[in-house]
Amino acid sequence: MNVRDKGNRERRFHLHLLPRSVLSVLLALVLLGCALANQQTRPANPIASPKSSVSTGPDERSSDRIARPTSEPYSGSLSIFEDPKREERLQVNRVMDVLAIKSGSTVADVGAGSGWFTVRAAKRVGSTGLVYAVEINGEYLKHIDKRSREENLSNIRTILGKADDPLLPEKSVDAVLLLKTYHEISEPVRWLRRLRPSMREGARLGIIDRTGKGDDHGVDQETVVKEAQRAGFVLVEQHDFVKPDEMDYFLVFRVR
C-alpha cells in the first residue's frame, strides 16, 4: 500500500466515524449550495426577460404576446378559394381602390393561399409594379409560382414567411392585404410590428376578416384594432361592403 492509498483509507475511516446528525447537516449544506448555484445560471423569469424574446428588434416587447385563442392555419384544398362568385361578392376591385393599388404599385398579399388575390393585384399593378405573395405554407407557394407561369404574370414574387414575421424587404410595399388570414396569425402584435418597416411612406394595410372568437375562423374587429394599435398602426377606414352578412369587415390602417 502506497502513502496516497493509506491517506484515502484514513479519510474514509474518519467520515464513517462522524455522528449521523453531523452528516445530515453536511448533506443539507451541499444541497443548498447546489440549489443556489443553479438559480444564478437561470434567468429569473424566462418570459419577461428581454433576452428570451425571438429576434430582438429595438422596438419589440415581451408584452406583444396576446392572451386570446387563434385559429389553426388552413392547410386543405386550395379550390375553396376559387369560387367564381367570390370576385363579385367581395368587390375585389373596390378593395384595391380603397388600398390605392394602381399601375406601378408594390403590393403584399399575406396568407396568399391559392394566389386568388395575388393574380388580381398583379394584373392591376402591371409590368411596372410587383406583388409579393407571402405564405407560411411552402406547398401553396409552389402552386402560386406555377400559376404565375401559366398566367404569364412575371411580376409576382413568392416569400416563405415566418409565423411571426412576413420577411418582406424594408420600405418595399405601398399596400398590404390580409384576406381571411389575420385570425390565423399566432402572434399578431409581434407580426404587425415586424411588418411595419416594410411599409413605405403612406402605405395602407387592409385586413378583411370575419367576426369570431379567434379559434373559430374569425376574430372581432375591436380586437384587431386594439392589436394593430399596440403594434403602432392607426385605423383610417372601416368598411362593411366585402360581404353583406354583417359578419365580414374590412379595416384599413396606416403606420402611426
Site residues, ligand SAM (CB under 6 A): 73-74, 81, 110-114, 116, 134-137, 140, 161, 163, 179-181, 184-185, 191
Which of 113/129 has CB closer to ligand SAM? 113
Which of 126/138 has CB closer to ligand SAM? 138
**C-alpha grid cell, residue 56:** 430582438
Contact 122, 144 (CB under 8 A): no
**Smallest separation, CB 39 to ligand SAM (Å):** 36
* CA separation for the pair 217, 234 (Å, rounded): 24
Question: What's the Cα-to-Cα distance from 97 to each of 111, 117, 125, 198, 215, rounded to whole Å?
Answer: 20, 14, 12, 21, 31
Which of 21/79 has CB closer to ligand SAM? 79
**Smallest separation, CB 55 to ligand SAM (Å):** 15
**Smallest separation, CB 74 to ligand SAM (Å):** 4
Full DSSP string of 28-69: HHHHHHHHHHHHHHS-S-TTT-GGGSSS--TT--GGG---S-
Which of 34/247 has CB closer to ligand SAM? 247
Q: Tell how strand 199-210 and strand 248-255 pair up.
A: antiparallel
Burial (CB count <10 Å: 0-12, 13-18, 19+), residue 51: exposed
**Smallest separation, CB 124 to ligand SAM (Å):** 16
**C-alpha grid cell, residue 1:** 500500500
Which of 19/84 has CB closer to ligand SAM? 84
Radius of gyration of the chain from its Cα atoms, rounded to whole angstroms: 28
**Smallest separation, CB 183 to ligand SAM (Å):** 8
Which of 62/137 has CB closer to ligand SAM? 137
* CA separation for the pair 155, 148 (Å, rounded): 8
**Smallest separation, CB 247 to ligand SAM (Å):** 15
